[in-house]
A and B are shown apart, each in its own frame.
Chain A
Amino acid sequence: MEILRCEHLSKIYGSGDTSVRALDDVSFSVEAGEFVSIVGPSGSGKSTLLHILGGVDRPTEGRVMIGGTDIHSLNENKLAVFRRRQIGLIYQFYNLLPVLNVDENIVLPHLLDGRKYDQERLDLVVERMGLTDRRNNLPSQLSGGQQQRVSIGRALYNHPAIILADEPTGNLDRKNGEEIVRLLKQSNRSQKQTLLIITHDESIALQADRMISIEDGHITRDERIRVTGGGM
């Protein structure tokens, strides 16, 4: 079942002579539960694509359909609600709120939705992320790997339809990086969550079901590495 489809996405920054075309007529679709890696050199438009898919940026042209909804046709408020319910975003620099402890950062999107958090689920996520003994710490009191695990916990807690990860291991050492990828894959498999990951690391990209290569805002290659749902 198709969960995500983008059609003729273009993104132009600036105007006139100084304008930069970050994305140029990008179209592809992703099946539910699929693990897709997006690779490409720096400045190729990977992060722009991810931000547009995550609804934090808007395309200049084209549309993004998630679960049949054209997310950019939604107004700011509806898009925000859609984002917190359907999308889990993971960034290279974790983007945690420095004033919230581990637990609070994890349940934040849920709380923003005005819902009561489920303590059992929180305990489960914290445990899965290996943060049980750090749950009352602020991000500044955590290592990079721990912070990224909080960030993943936050993305997973709400059972989003899609998880979008932007270089999640880019700021981590190999051991921590592998651990993060393991957690993401585990979630992809056990929860059947769709996972799109941007990475420079070829070994991580090759663990995906499908790999999309981008250069200068164009998709240059879209190859299936293994059948969806297949294990390594």
Chain B
Amino acid sequence: MRKNVVFYVTRQYMKQNKGRTFVTFIGIVFMVILMTGVFIGKDTGIGYLEEIASLKDGKWHVSIYGVTEEMCGEVQSLPYVRETARSKGYGATEFEQSANDERPYLNVKAYEPACFDWMNIHLTEGRLPENEQEIVISRSAIDDGAKIQTGDWIDARFFQRSITGINAEAGGTIFPFFGIELEYGETKAVPESFPYYGENESFRENVEYTGKTGRYQVVGIIEAPSYEDSGAAGYTAVTGLGDDGLQITASSDNSGTKDTCNLTMLLDLEVLPLDYAMELRNIAYGCEMDFNDYVLAFSANASESTLNMVIRYMTVVFVVLIMGASVLLIYNVFNISFQERSRYLGMLCSVGATGRQKRSSIYYESFCLLIFALPTGILGGMGIIRLAMLVFRPLLGMMVGIQEVDRLSPVSVRISWENIAAVILVSVLTVLISAWLPARKIGKIGPIECIRGNVEKKSRQYAMRPSVIRRFGAEGMLAGNMLTRQKRRPRSVAVSAAVFMIILIVTVYGTRTVHEIIDVKIDRASLDIRSEDYDYLLGSCGYSAEYDALKEEILNDPGVEKVSEWGEGMFTGQVPASVYGREYWEAVREIFSLYYHRDVSEEEVRQEDMQYKQVVNILAVPDECLRKIGERAGADVGRLMDTEHPAALVVKEGVISTDTYRISETEPEHYRIFRIENMSDLGPGDEIPLELYDPDQEKNVNMPVEVAGNISEELLSDYVTFGNDNQYVWLLVNADVSRKIARIAGGREGTAGLSPMLFIKQNEEPTDLIGRLEKLNDREDSYFAFARPGYQKDLIGSLAEIADILLGCFVVLTSVICLLNLFNSIRGWRDESRQDIEVLYSVGMTKEQMNRLLLYECLGIFLRAVLLAGVCAGFLYLMIQAGVKTIFGNLRIPFPAAGAALSAALAGVVLVLITILVHRKISF
């Protein structure tokens, strides 16, 4: 005898309906695969990305420079600090074997053993140092011709470098890349990356011996570490760090303090608290600190909290969407088979089965499928993760700008019991939710209703609708009646189609949201001039005589087809606060309120900020281009191009946020971004009292500019785009006006104020111009930068691409669930319509009429699905937008109308195709 007849009957039912059971099983398997992808795939992917990212700067997580013993102890005792290793910078020493006059030193560091691994020290020959008397030297020294090899000895006498201004007439010397301004007679310490200038007229290099000496045997040659600057005066050399090294008290590390060392650590990312960066900063107060964001970003622990938020946000969105799609799939299957199921359960009920037993039948079926789907899905998911990682391996390296992925060990799926448990738990929960509603429904109906199959019958009247018949014929009447009088069957199909649409719409919206978050939260170039038509870009510090000479040379070169000269003047001008408009100041007031954690009044803002002059940026636009832009903006082009009386086109929009408008020594309540529609309230004809700082006269010079018009960023976007940190008013001026500005603000040397950018387009003529410009760019003292224009991949670009790929994979896999769902629903619908079809054929319906009927039915279902999807997607859109706004500030993410239309069209086509396919299968 069977122990449980309800379960036996359920099993028999499942066997009888093999097709539907199989499709449901596949759906659950896909759900488990997706869950595995989210939980295990995320860990595997992130782990692998960490490994890839570690190729760039090493696998260390945080480095603190100049920490004391006490600080070290405190940091090491933190529960989330997994491992630490110390290092010291001994300073520079003469490198007699150097063959490069510009690199006469060795910059020597001492590492504890773990640091060699964490800092990506790769041997090219020999071995790593095992004690404090052994040393490895950077390959770059050998490549430059240094006469040294393994086995040689180096005698070191360490010193710190500094420079002293010696030319009273030349005035101060600026080293912009090192943030050093050196006045005559002043002495300043320089970092190890500082170049060697030798004898020169402006300054003198000093060395101060630290008292540490050493004799080291070269035991290996290493690849130049990522932190070695090819322009630095010294090559990198690393020795072992032992107790002796740690006991020295010389001021030899980066912080310049005594009795300190550098502490590098690996963190336990599993237990890392959100505020760990703050805690480390508090412990090592005053110490310089580096976070390896490349590595940390992928485990959602980067010091920049937004990256963490993006990754966590995406994880939650993925899980919720997968659960939603799966719940609907499983629920739909049970709902479709409701009538058939109610018959056999009714029979059981008539012989004494209780409501609980009936419910248990549904749960039994769903968990029968789940028990097999779980291992299948988890194993399948792992296989897919492994496959995907192998396929993506080179791509992932490219994304983070690292090509050396070959160095990494093969991809291994990172399995943890916690993640497996999470997959099982979420899958069980999903199935439980899906089965609960139909189980509850079926548990309530009585045996007679079940057997007669008229559970939902109501004794209402249905009048004939002659108008429908007149307009759409018999097919229209039949379709209308089938959709309105037999709601359950087509409703399942409509719900499935709607879910398909919702998933697509929400994913499109999610993709845009993630992009927007990444876009607004991470600093990008403030200004991007569209340069697709040009091959190279020559940038200069200012409109100097050298620049003019170089420009002339370029213009006359036969290999140059055309050039376009722009000029960028960040912070070049100053204006009264009144030039900035009401909208801007209101946003500033709100930012003040966020920083001061109270409602700040306009008066307070006025007192604190509005009394000061405000910055304006200048953009010098080529005349031909400016004329077109002016026409596009409807500005007074004549005034704009006037060479006598300066006029400017004012860019309307701007963006300020709690990140870009910072108030020191306080933290805002939360991040918020304000998109200003009108940065200035000034209009055509108004005058901007522009002031320019004349460095020669050391005072501001007035240069009033008339507003020739205002232009939106959208109208400008064909020529120039502004970054999301564009918090100042931009003035677009013609070439003559820009020269005038440059003459005042650029000083005698012409090296300040405006920075010209010369875009160069080559022709077919052979020329050595590019080679010469490249050499100029390589010169240490060059004021010019020469490169190919265009987008450079950065961490953010990588993140955006990774997000795209993940969302793409998610869409594909979730679409499979949705398609299975849709297929299942349509099959159920058509299966139940089989008898109707036979009746219709028997009373003389032709195949064309049948096809038309199907199309009408599909159209009705589609319209219903669109309505449902519109309501649900709209609701989800509002929910997501509200959530995103709360977390990330007032991001502007419009509803993806085009994506929604495309999703609807796709769902409609899929609906019709599957219906025709299933109908043909049933009919023939």
A binds B: yes
Count A-side interface residues using an 8 Å CB cutoff: 35
Contact of B844 among A85, A91, A101, A116 (CB under 8 A): A85
Question: Does A136 touch B at the CB level, under 8 Å?
Answer: yes
Interface window among B310-318, B481-489, B783-791:
B481-489
Question: Does B197 touch A at the CB level, under 8 Å?
Answer: no
Nearest-neighbor residue (CB-CB) of B840 within chain A: A97
Question: Does B425 touch A at the CB level, under 8 Å?
Answer: no
Contact of B474 among A76, A77, A103, A112 (CB under 8 A): A112
Give A residues with C-beta under 8 Å from B. Answer: 54, 56, 76-77, 80-85, 89, 91, 95-101, 103-104, 108-109, 111-114, 116-117, 136-138, 140-141, 154
Whether B838 pairs with A95 at a CB distance below 8 angstroms is yes
Nearest-neighbor residue (CB-CB) of A100 within chain B: B481
Whether B462 pairs with A80 at a CB distance below 8 angstroms is no
Residues of B close to A82: CB separation below 8 A = 844
Question: Does B477 touch A at the CB level, under 8 Å?
Answer: yes
Whether B485 pairs with A99 at a CB distance below 8 angstroms is yes
Residues of A close to B478: CB separation below 8 A = 97, 99-100
Residues of A close to B474: CB separation below 8 A = 108, 111-112, 114
CA distance A81 to B845 in the complex (A): 7
Shortest beta-carbon distance from A155 to chain B in Å: 9
Known: A77-B846, A108-B474. A97 touches B839 (CB 8 A): yes
Whether A99 pairs with B482 at a CB distance below 8 angstroms is yes
CA distance A223 to B845 in the complex (A): 36
Sampled A-B contacts (19; CB under 8 Å): A77-B846, A80-B844, A95-B838, A95-B839, A97-B478, A99-B836, A100-B477, A100-B481, A101-B461, A101-B462, A101-B463, A103-B464, A104-B464, A104-B477, A104-B481, A108-B840, A113-B844, A140-B457, A141-B457
CA distance A116 to B485 in the complex (A): 23
Known: A54-B842, A80-B844, A108-B843. A101 touches B464 (CB 8 A): yes
Residues of A close to B469: CB separation below 8 A = 111, 117
CA distance A95 to B835 in the complex (A): 8
Residues of A close to B462: CB separation below 8 A = 101, 136-138
Question: Does B848 touch A at the CB level, under 8 Å?
Answer: yes
Whether A89 pairs with B843 at a CB distance below 8 angstroms is yes
Q: Mark B823-837, 1 if CB is under 8 A from A, else 0.
A: 000000000000110
Shortest beta-carbon distance from A48 to chain B in Å: 14
CA distance A89 to B844 in the complex (A): 10
* Residue of A77, A89, A97 with most partner-chain B CB within 10 A: A97
Whether A56 pairs with B464 at a CB distance below 8 angstroms is no
CA distance A85 to B843 in the complex (A): 9
Shortest beta-carbon distance from B484 to chain A in Å: 8
Residues of B close to A103: CB separation below 8 A = 464
CA distance A107 to B413 in the complex (A): 66
Shortest beta-carbon distance from A118 to chain B in Å: 12
CA distance A117 to B846 in the complex (A): 19
* Residue of B459, B838, B843, B845 with most partner-chain A CB within 10 A: B843
CA distance A137 to B514 in the complex (A): 55
Residues of B close to A112: CB separation below 8 A = 474, 840, 843-846, 849
Residues of A close to B836: CB separation below 8 A = 97-99
Nearest-neighbor residue (CB-CB) of B454 within chain A: A140
Contact of B841 among A56, A96, A137 (CB under 8 A): A56
Nearest-neighbor residue (CB-CB) of A83 within chain B: B844
Shortest beta-carbon distance from A121 to chain B in Å: 14
Whether B841 pairs with A77 at a CB distance below 8 angstroms is no
Shortest beta-carbon distance from B497 to chain A in Å: 20
* Residue of A81, A82, A111, A113 with most partner-chain B CB within 10 A: A111
Question: Does B473 touch A at the CB level, under 8 Å?
Answer: yes
Shortest beta-carbon distance from B860 to chain A in Å: 12
Shortest beta-carbon distance from A50 to chain B in Å: 11
Shortest beta-carbon distance from A40 to chain B in Å: 22
Question: Does B2 touch A at the CB level, under 8 Å?
Answer: no
Q: Mark B434-473, 1 if CB is under 8 A from A, else 0.
A: 0000000000000000000010010101111000011001
CA distance A98 to B453 in the complex (A): 12
Known: A99-B478, A100-B481, A108-B474. A154 touches B464 (CB 8 A): no
CA distance A116 to B841 in the complex (A): 20
Question: Does B772 touch A at the CB level, under 8 Å?
Answer: no
Nearest-neighbor residue (CB-CB) of A136 within chain B: B461
CA distance A136 to B470 in the complex (A): 19
Question: Does B598 touch A at the CB level, under 8 Å?
Answer: no
Whether B846 pairs with A80 at a CB distance below 8 angstroms is yes
CA distance A15 to B2 in the complex (A): 40
Residues of A close to B841: CB separation below 8 A = 56, 80
Whether B839 pairs with A77 at a CB distance below 8 angstroms is no
* Residue of B459, B470, B838, B845 with most partner-chain A CB within 10 A: B845
Residues of B close to A99: CB separation below 8 A = 478, 481-482, 485-486, 836
Known: A99-B485, A104-B481. A136 touches B463 (CB 8 A): yes
CA distance A82 to B848 in the complex (A): 15
Residues of A close to B846: CB separation below 8 A = 76-77, 80-81, 112
Shortest beta-carbon distance from B919 to chain A in Å: 15
Nearest-neighbor residue (CB-CB) of A111 within chain B: B474
CA distance A109 to B840 in the complex (A): 8
Nearest-neighbor residue (CB-CB) of B456 within chain A: A140
Shortest beta-carbon distance from B445 to chain A in Å: 16
Residues of B close to A101: CB separation below 8 A = 461-464
CA distance A76 to B844 in the complex (A): 10
CA distance A112 to B485 in the complex (A): 20
Residues of A close to B473: CB separation below 8 A = 111, 114
Residues of A close to B454: CB separation below 8 A = 140
Nearest-neighbor residue (CB-CB) of B474 within chain A: A111
* Residue of A85, A103, A112, A137 with most partner-chain B CB within 10 A: A112
Residues of B close to A154: CB separation below 8 A = 843
Nearest-neighbor residue (CB-CB) of B463 within chain A: A136
Shortest beta-carbon distance from B482 to chain A in Å: 5
Question: Does B847 touch A at the CB level, under 8 Å?
Answer: yes
Q: Which B residues between 467 and 511 are near A, CB-CB below 8 angstroms?
A: 469-470, 473-474, 477-478, 481-482, 485-486
Residues of A close to B838: CB separation below 8 A = 95
Shortest beta-carbon distance from B74 to chain A in Å: 77
Nearest-neighbor residue (CB-CB) of B483 within chain A: A99
CA distance A103 to B477 in the complex (A): 12
Q: Mark B875-900, 1 if CB is under 8 A from A, else 0.
A: 00000000000000000000000000
Nearest-neighbor residue (CB-CB) of B843 within chain A: A109
Whether B843 pairs with A83 at a CB distance below 8 angstroms is yes
Shortest beta-carbon distance from B857 to chain A in Å: 11
Whether A77 pairs with B848 at a CB distance below 8 angstroms is yes
CA distance A82 to B846 in the complex (A): 10
Whether A137 pairs with B848 at a CB distance below 8 angstroms is no
CA distance A116 to B845 in the complex (A): 16
Whether A80 pairs with B461 at a CB distance below 8 angstroms is no
CA distance A141 to B452 in the complex (A): 12
Residues of A close to B461: CB separation below 8 A = 101, 136-137
Whether A84 pairs with B481 at a CB distance below 8 angstroms is no
Additional pairs, 13, CB under 8 Å, beyond known A83-B843, A100-B481, A141-B457: A80-B841, A84-B844, A85-B844, A89-B842, A97-B839, A97-B840, A98-B836, A99-B481, A101-B463, A103-B464, A136-B462, A136-B463, A136-B464
